[in-house]
């Protein structure tokens, strides 16, 4: 069964195709603003512009034609409204034109499912860290529950905000990581963990007062150490509380080597497994939407409207 | 010394009827963060336990604090954790105990059914590692919110009923006007990302 999935929740437009559980194409393009952050309208314009090319590339890669596709899937949310609309409209059009079923997929759950597929970890705790999202998710009793999450902004968003203050272009993660590697001087920062939840806005305010007074290498180092310690601590609490023995880190921030190193050490110390997933499937991608759409194929939901605030824990997981 | 439990941040030992909670080093974080967290949390936890114990709340009696080893010594409560055996009737009693703790101006910071022990007819709240002093409506609400989430994640099948019993018990004992706390409770839920209620 061929499933074509479209991802367009934020600044990445992606098309993936799966043949049952096998990913046979995963193409995408990501908007990189010259300055500042993502402007929703510009993200949508980017997606409209690149949609035909990405779709064609995915089909070429798989050797399929649109008429061969058995099921269309799209990322229903959470995300930015103008971006979400592009994927929803394109997939609706394709499903009508070729008279095939259409399925809406929760973006966060898709991240988790592709992580399970590529790490072969059946029941991990997932630390999902991206620009907009920071959630610790695990399977429990028929749903993916959000065990901990940010109470304000996503961790990637925090890094980008700090990056803007330090004149580092978007996305700031790689540069901050590089700067951090040059320092070993820790500046004490607010460490805000409430139960399993984390909060980042205090750090942003705190760092804004350091700029110009401290070296940016030291700021970057201290920032990374603080926020990643918080995330790994919350992940460990979730593993301990839910008795899970594996962790995966996914989302765009999963590209950070220091975060992975900390996750690995934490797991090693508690005899748990840690696996990183290939970066191709850690960032936003169409393949995860196709694959999750395939998993959900027998449980179609009626509501196919975009859901900008789609919560992970509201989806009933009947296929597990 | 017998190891009783290995938690995510501390190891619990038992020695002659005394519980020793030792915060262990975490190799994933740098020494500066690790030392500071372990020290401040152990000390704060010990102080809060002393305060609550003297205030008459059911908590293990704190015995001593060892700063070098990041250890807290306390009396052992022989009982069963609610996480292992939990019914909706327990929820009301938890509500009462939490309200009494709040009346003393203490926020637990990690309220789950794993952190409440039943011994005979009494409930004991344990693990004050994330506790702090406050009498703000918002902080009361954050404790309630944590417990609600804990119910949802660990006792999903009875969560709704248990939560209403919990609130019932809480409201019966809390000395502050509940309306103010409730406003913050709704606010916390809405502040989370992707809330579908608005």
B2-46 per-position pLDDT tens digit: 998 888 889 999 999 899 999 999 999 999 999 999 998 999 999
Backbone angles phi, psi at A141, to 5 degrees: 55, 50
C-alpha distance from B184 to closest chain A C-alpha (Å): 14
pLDDT of residue B197: 42
C-alpha distance from B63 to closest chain A C-alpha (Å): 26
Which residues neighbour A306 within 8 Å (Cβ) at sequence distance 6 or greater? A76, A77, A79, A81, A84, A85, A88
Could you give the percent of chain A with pLDDT greater than 70? 100
User: If we measure between CA atoms, which residue out of A103, A107, A81 comes closest to residue A94?
Assistant: A103
Q: Could you name the CATH architecture of B2-75?
A: 2-Layer Sandwich (3.30)
Flag if A225 and B30 touch (Cβ within 8 Å). yes
Domains B2-75 and B80-191 agree in fold: no
pLDDT of residue B12: 93
Chain A interface, best mutation among B134, B144, B145, B194, by max A CB count within 10 A? B194
Report, as ranges of residue numbers, the positions in chain B whose pLDDT lies below 70: 192-198
With H, G, I as helix, E, B as strand and everything else as coil, classify residue A66. helix
Residue position matching structure tokens 């609550």? B52
Flag if B153 and A149 touch (Cβ within 8 Å). no
At B198, list the tokens: 């608005």
A-to-B residue pairs, Cβ atoms closer than 8 angstroms? 96
Residue of chain B whose Cα is closest to the Cα of A234: B8
Flag if A149 and B109 touch (Cβ within 8 Å). no
H or E stretch including B72?
strand B71-75
Please state which of the four CATH numbers 1.25.40.390, 1.20.1290.10, 1.10.560.10, 1.10.510.10 is assigned to the domain occupying B80-191. 1.10.510.10
Which of B37, B111, B193 lies at the smallest CB-CB distance from A150?
Answer: B193
- Averaged pLDDT, A298-302: 85
A195 or A59, which is more confident: A59
Active site residue B110: yes
Which of B111, B114, B193 lies at the smallest CB-CB distance from A149?
Answer: B193
Rounded mean pLDDT of chain A? 94
Query: Would you tell me how many other CB atoms lie within 10 Å of the CB of residue B195?
Result: 11
pLDDT of residue A5: 98
Among A219-233, A280-294, B6-20, name the one with the lowest average pLDDT: B6-20
Q: Structural domains in chain A?
A: 2-111+284-314 (3.30.420.40), 120-280 (3.30.420.40)
Give, in order, the Cα–Cα distances in Å from B28 to each of A265, A277, B10, B33.
5, 20, 15, 10
Residue numbers in B near A225 (CB within 8 A): 29-30, 33
- Averaged pLDDT, A133-149: 89
- Say if residues A286 and A292 touch (Cβ distance below 8 Å): no
Residue position matching structure tokens 């990189």? A32
pLDDT of residue A33: 85
- Averaged pLDDT, A135-147: 88
pLDDT of residue B193: 57
**What is the pTM assigned to this prediction?**
0.86
User: If we measure between CA atoms, which residue out of B23, B104, B32, B33 comes closest to residue B65?
Assistant: B23
Options B110, B127, B139, B182, the catalytic residue = B110
Query: HSE of A38 in the Cβ direction (CA atoms, 13 Å)?
Result: 25
Flag if A195 and B110 touch (Cβ within 8 Å). yes
Express each pLDDT in A246-270 by its tens digit.
Answer: 999 999 999 999 999 999 999 999 9
ipTM score over 0.90, yes or no:
no
Rg (CA), chain A: 19
pLDDT of residue B26: 97
Residue numbers in B near A242 (CB within 8 A): 153
Pairing of strands A246-250, B122-125: unpaired
- Say if residues A57 and A269 touch (Cβ distance below 8 Å): no
Flag if B33 and A191 touch (Cβ within 8 Å). yes
B11: exposed, middle or buried (Cβ count in 10 Å: 0-12, 13-18, 19+): middle
Which of A194, A242, A310 lies at the smallest CB-CB distance from B142?
Answer: A194
Flag if B33 and A226 touch (Cβ within 8 Å). yes
Residue numbers in A near B38 (CB within 8 A): none
Flag if A194 and B146 touch (Cβ within 8 Å). yes
Residue numbers in B near A263 (CB within 8 A): 28
Listed by number, the residues of chain A in 128-157 with a beta carbon closer than 8 Å to a beta carbon of chain B are: 132-133, 140-143, 145, 147, 149-152, 154
pLDDT at A43 over 90: yes
pLDDT of residue B70: 94
- Averaged pLDDT, A260-282: 95
Most confident of A147-161, A190-204, B48-62: B48-62
* Domain segments of chain B as ranges: 2-75, 80-191
Which residues neighbour B93 within 8 Å (Cβ) at sequence distance 6 or greater? B123, B169
pLDDT of residue B194: 57
- Say if residues A146 and A313 touch (Cβ distance below 8 Å): yes
Flag if A241 and B114 touch (Cβ within 8 Å). yes
C-alpha distance from B175 to closest chain A C-alpha (Å): 24
Tell which phi-psi region holds residue A243, choosing left (phi > 0), alpha (psi between -120 and 50) or beta.
left
Flag if A194 and B112 touch (Cβ within 8 Å). no
pLDDT of residue B198: 39
- Averaged pLDDT, A233-243: 90
Residue numbers in A near B195 (CB within 8 A): 309, 311
pLDDT of residue B71: 95
């Amino acid at each position: 069964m061929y499933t074509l999935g479209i991802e367009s929740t934020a600044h990445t437009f992606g098309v993936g195709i799966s043949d049952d559980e096998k990913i046979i194409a995963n193409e995408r393009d990501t908007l990189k603003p010259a300055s500042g952050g993502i402007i929703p309208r510009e993200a949508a314009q980017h997606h409209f512009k690149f949609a035909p090319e990405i779709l064609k590339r995915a089909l070429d890669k798989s050797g399929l034609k649109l008429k061969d596709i058995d099921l269309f899937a799209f990322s229903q949310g959470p995300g930015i409204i103008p971006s979400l609309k592009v994927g929803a409209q394109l997939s609706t059009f394709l499903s009508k034109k070729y008279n095939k079923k259409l399925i809406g997929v929760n973006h966060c759950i898709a991240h988790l499912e592709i992580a399970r597929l590529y790490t072969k970890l059946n029941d991990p705790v997932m630390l999902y860290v991206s620009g907009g999202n920071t959630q610790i998710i695990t399977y429990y009793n028929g749903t993916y529950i959000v065990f901990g999450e940010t109470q304000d902004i996503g961790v990637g968003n925090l890094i980008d905000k700090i990056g803007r203050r330090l004149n580092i272009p978007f996305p700031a993660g790689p540069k901050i990581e590089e700067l951090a590697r040059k320092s070993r001087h820790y500046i004490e920062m607010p460490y805000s963990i409430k139960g399993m939840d984390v909060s980042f806005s205090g750090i942003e305010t705190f760092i804004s007062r350091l700029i110009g007074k401290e070296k940016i290498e030291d700021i970057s180092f201290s920032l990374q150490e603080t926020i990643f310690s918080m995330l790994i601590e919350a992940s460990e609490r979730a593993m301990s509380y839910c008795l899970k023995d594996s962790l995966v880190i996914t989302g765009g921030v999963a590209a950070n080597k220091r975060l992975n190193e900390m996750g690995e050490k934490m797991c090693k110390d508690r005899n748990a497994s840690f696996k990183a997933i290939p970066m191709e499937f850690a960032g936003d991608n169409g393949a995860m939407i196709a694959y999750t759409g395939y998993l959900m194929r027998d449980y179609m939901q009626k509501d196919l409207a975009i859901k900008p605030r789609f919560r992970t824990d509201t989806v009933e997981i009947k296929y597990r | 010394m017998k190891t009783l439990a290995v938690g995510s941040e501390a190891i619990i030992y038992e020695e002659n009827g005394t519980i020793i909670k030792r915060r262990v080093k975490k190799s994933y974080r740098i020494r500066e963060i690790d030392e500071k967290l372990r020290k401040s949390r152990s000390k704060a936890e010990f102080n809060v336990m002393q305060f609550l114990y003297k205030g008459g709340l059911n908590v293990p009696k704190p015995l001593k604090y060892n700063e070098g080893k990041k250890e807290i010594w306390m009396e052992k409560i022989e009982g069963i954790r609610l996480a292992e055996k939990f019914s909706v009737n327990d929820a009301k009693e938890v509500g009462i105990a939490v309200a009494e703790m709040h009346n003393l101006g203490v926020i637990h910071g990690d309220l789950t059914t794993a952190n409440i022990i039943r011994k005979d007819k009494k409930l004991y709240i344990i693990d004050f590692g994330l506790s702090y002093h406050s009498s703000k409506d918002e902080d009361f609400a954050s404790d309630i919110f944590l417990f609600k989430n804990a119910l949802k994640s660990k006792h999903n099948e009875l969560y709704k009923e248990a939560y209403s019993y919990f609130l019932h018990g809480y409201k019966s004992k809390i000395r502050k006007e509940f309306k103010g706390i409730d406003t913050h409770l709704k606010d916390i839920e809405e502040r989370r990302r992707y809330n579908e209620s608005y």
